[in-house]
Amino acid sequence: MTLTAVPRVPVAEVPPPLSLRRRALLVCGWIGPAVIAVAFAGWLIAGVLPFPLGPDDSESKVVEFYAGGMHVVLGIGLATIGVSLLSPLVAAISHLMDTGEPGARLVSLVQLVSGTVTAVLLFVPMLIMAIIAFRPERDPELTVMLNDLAWLLFITPIMPFIIQNLAVAASALFDDASPFPRWMGYLNCWIAFTFSFDVLALVVHRGPFAWNGILIFWLALTTYSVFLLVMGLFVRHQALLPEDDDAPATSADLVGEVVQ
């Protein structure tokens, strides 16, 4: 290749291509809004939204819902795909936390582990719903039991997510070199708080504290969506920052600099 192959557009006007790391970050960032879009689409198609089944619903209503037709199976299947998209976003958050002070690496691992457990605990209930819809002609009591299992597994295991929130908050508030701004620390603390009382769904069968209640399902759905949107867009924002501070530097990079 010779100099004549240089494009006619002046080099200065062409934005430099993103490094592999930044392209990967960009994809992981867009995953946040994508989880919301795909999962919501699935739930709307299946009829889980806008009015989900509640603990107080009759046997026949529960059976009717799962026997509703192909759209139920397809919708739940789509939601399964939606929530399983989570893991790249979780990894990207830890990757960014790793660019803080070296002493904060453990907190980044905490985020990674608890975020992974959260992803699993969102994925499995969706799978159980799909299993219920697979054979809805079974004994109605079993369908109700599986429906309880799916919903309570979906709503009440809150601790992994709270730990994930607190890990992000710890990075934002206590690590001065963290890429996460302080407001995101407070936001994560608040989101953790809005989940903290979801265990009430284990004992309450109707009203605002039931698994489909406004202070349990709707509040958690809202704040979790805020979490995915804010974290995802922040990862995207970090991916598009000017290249000069590309981090984290690996030991190989440092050796390269010394050699040069």
Partner 1 sequence: MTAGVTARAETGRRREGPAEPWLWGFLLADMSVFAAFFIAYLWDFGSDRAGFVAEASHLVVALGLANALVLLTSSFLVVRAVQTHRSGGDPRAALAGALVLSACFAVVKVVEYTLEIGDGHTLTSSTFFTYYYALTGLHLMHVAIGTLLLVTWRRSVRPGGRRVSTRFVEGAAGYWHMVDLLWILIFSFVYIGSHA
Sites of contact with partner 1 (CB under 8 A): 101, 176-177, 182-183, 185-187, 189-190, 193-194, 196-197, 200, 203-204, 207-209, 214-215, 219
Cα 160 to Cα 198: distance, rounded to the nearest angstrom: 13
Q: Provide the minimum distance between the beta carbon of 205 and partner 1 in the complex, in angstroms, as a whole number.
A: 8
Which CA distances in Å does 38 have to 1, 179, 195, 240? 45, 28, 22, 24
Q: Provide the minimum distance between the beta carbon of 109 and partner 1 in the complex, in angstroms, as a whole number.
A: 22
Nearer to partner 1, 127 or 229 (CB): 229
Nearer to partner 1, 72 or 162 (CB): 162
Q: Provide the minimum distance between the beta carbon of 100 and partner 1 in the complex, in angstroms, as a whole number.
A: 10
Cα 85 to Cα 42: distance, rounded to the nearest angstrom: 13
Residue type, 198: D
Nearer to partner 1, 36 or 210 (CB): 210
Q: Provide the minimum distance between the beta carbon of 185 and partner 1 in the complex, in angstroms, as a whole number.
A: 8
Nearer to partner 1, 126 or 192 (CB): 192
Contacts of 18 (CB under 8 A, 6+ apart): 26, 239, 240, 243
Q: Provide the minimum distance between the beta carbon of 79 and partner 1 in the complex, in angstroms, as a whole number.
A: 26
Nearer to partner 1, 85 or 172 (CB): 172
Cα 129 to Cα 212: distance, rounded to the nearest angstrom: 15
Which CA distances in Å does 168 have to 44, 180, 196, 213, 215? 31, 8, 16, 28, 24
How many whole angstroms from its chain centre is CA 188?
A: 13
Q: Provide the minimum distance between the beta carbon of 190 and partner 1 in the complex, in angstroms, as a whole number.
A: 5
Contacts of 73 (CB under 8 A, 6+ apart): 46, 130, 133, 134
Residues in the chain: 260
| Cβ atoms within 10 Å, residue 164 | 28
Nearer to partner 1, 54 or 208 (CB): 208
